[in-house]
Structure 1
Amino acid sequence: MSHSQDLSGDDGARYRVSAVWSHSFDPEWFRPGAWGSDARPVDAGGRGGAWFVTAPGGELVLRFYQRGGLMAHLSRDAYLRTGVARSRAFAEFDLLQRMVERGLPVPAPVAAAFWPRAGALYQAAILVERLESARPLPSVLGTLAAEHWTAVGRTVRWFHDEGIDHADLNGFNILWFKGSVYVIDFDKGRQRAQGLTGTRWQRRNLDRLHRSLLKLDWSDSPLGLDAAWEHVLAGYSEGAGHP
């Protein structure tokens, strides 16, 4: 049984839709204005690329792929076409779907969009189910005890044992949700060989997470950065499995 459906739209647009949502999907879902008051910007101070959406079937997050840094001066939201299946949105959708099927703690994908643009460029967006009451690690530092940081480490190890390489594993992409650790934003993430330990990409993930934690204000934390990180590494060393 297929877990997604591919659809074509106007002007060469392509969509990949989860089977759970395919019965009600409308390409207008990718237009924030079509939702009216049911769409709210995720971060008014950001680049305007993400929206919380209240859909008939539940709460969603709509995210447009946008560049940051120096590349944004060349093109804010257009990418070089290398095939629909390899587009940012379709690749992330497929990776999320595989992780959901394996039981990994990630938001379920709803739909991905690909829009061809002039020349060899395209634009893209993705809809995922929202973890509505989830809080990113930086917003709950003052409440996280040793066992919470151990759970973070064990969860990262779980992803690594499954061969999931997160391209930007930082504190804001790790959420505390209903007593468990979840991970979001798998843009440019990759599926690698499973069951490996100590690889370069795994060390890179951990280093990226540690650098992001260094930038936070730890004054309200009951542990402090050094102790928290020791528990992350201890949890990681314990091995995979749901915390």
Structure 2
Amino acid sequence: MIQVQVQSMSDGAIVYDAALGAVPTAEWFDAAHWGLLGRAAGGRGGVVFVDTPAGACALRHYHRVGLAARVSADVYVWTGAARTRAFREFDLLARLADLHLPVSLPVAACYRRSGLGYRADLLTRRIEGAETLAARVARGELDPRLAERIVGTVARFNRAGAFHADLNAHNVLVGGDGGVSLIDFDRGRMRKPHFTWQQANLARLLRSLRKLGARHLDGFESRFWHPLLAAYHDAMARRALAGTEAAP
């Protein structure tokens, strides 16, 4: 259970897990503070791995994308603390963790105001020994067993109503033990489970895999994607049947 605590700063605030055993400061969100400036690893806008007093973490600075990035690379319009990108993602990750879903646990989030805008950062637990699905694609390591593990994880999130706004191969982590986690829940939210957005999640993942060149791998469709779809629909159908049988 994440114990949410908020600490004010002169120009913003930090939300963190009070069970950390350490109180985060503004320096925790500065890559240069850790001597790692410029060392990025995956994710939109880049992620820096840092060793904090609370343990190994992934530090992400929020960057704008698309046309909005031409106006400002990382400044968002201020509409209230609870609506900042960092605080919203921290809250969602805390909820998903409480549901025992495999996510990178939230450690702390920070926003700093500047005029009518703000900048934001997020610290999450580093999942040691894990690599992205994109890395597996690059090595051509896709098979039905991996597909089953991935789809089982995605189905768990979808059944819980956890909507991932950018489900792509870079945001699916495969651990050394074969466990699968989802990361980067920026703009994600809890929604009423529905076939339309659940299928859109899978379609986005497929587009990502094809963009990375998976379609050129031998047997991608027959040995990976088709088993993934079949296992997903089977998992969702079994869950629906279980819910029907449990109903009075």
Relative to the length of structure 1, the TM-score reads 0.88
Task: Give 2:205's match in structure 1, choosing from 193, 204, 209.
Answer: 209
- Superposed counterparts of 1:141-220, under 5 Å: 141=137, 142-177=140-175, 178-193=177-192, 196-198=193-195, 200-218=196-214
Give the root-mean-square deviation of aligned CA atoms. Answer: 2.4
Q: Match for residue 227 of structure 1? A: 223
TM-score, L = length of structure 2: 0.86
| Alpha-carbon separation, structure 1, partners of 2:27 and 2:230 | 46
Name the amino acid aligned to 2:31.
Answer: P
Equivalent residue number for residue 17 of structure 1: 16
Q: Aligned residue pairs: how many?
A: 234
Separation in 1, partners of 2:129, 2:219: 24
CA contact (8 A) 1:15 1:112 kept: yes
Answer yes or no: is the 8 Å Cα contact 1:154–1:238 preserved in 2. no
Contact kept, 8 Å, 1:153 with 1:231, in 2: the verdict is no
- Structure 1: tracts of 5 or more residues without a match: none
**What's the counterpart of residue 35 of structure 1?**
34
Structure with the bigger percentage of helix = 2
Give the match for residue 62 of structure 1: 59
Match of 2:8 in 1: 8
- The 1:122–1:233 alpha-carbon spacing in structure 2 relative to 1, beyond 3 Å, is same
The alpha-carbon distance between structure 1 residues 23 and 57, as it changes in their structure 2 partners (threshold 3 A), is closer
Identity, in percent, stands at: 38
2-side partners of 1:238 and 1:30: how far apart? 42
- 1:13-36 deviations in Å (ceiling 9; x for gaps): 111011222534222101112112
Please report how far the alpha carbon of residue 226 of structure 1 lies from its aligned counterpart in structure 2 after TM superposition: 4.6
CA deviation vs aligned residue, 1:140-199 (integer Å, no higher than 9, x gap): 132332111022112111101000110000011001012111100000001112xx341x
Any idea what SS the aligned residue of 2:7 has? strand
**Residue 132 of structure 2 corresponds to which residue in structure 1?**
136
Tell me by how many angstroms 1:40 deviates: 6.2
Q: 1:121 to 1:229 in 2, by over 3 A?
A: same
Q: Does 1:108 align with 2:105?
A: yes
**Contact kept? 2:2, 2:19, Cα under 8 Å:** no
Structure 1 segments of 4+ aligned residues over 3 angstroms from their partners: 218-223
Q: CA 1:76–1:40 in structure 2 vs 1: closer, same or farther (change >3 Å)?
A: closer
Q: Match for 2:161: what amino acid?
A: G
Does the 8 A contact of 2:142 with 2:220 survive in 1?
Answer: no
Distance 1:225 1:138, change over 3 A: farther
Separation in 2, partners of 1:222, 1:57: 44
1:78 and 2:80 are equivalent in the alignment: no
Instruction: Look up the match of 1:51.
Output: 48
For 2:141 and 2:8, the matched residues in 1 are separated by: 47
Identify unmatched segments of 5+ residues in structure 2. 239-248
Aligned partner letter, 1:15: I
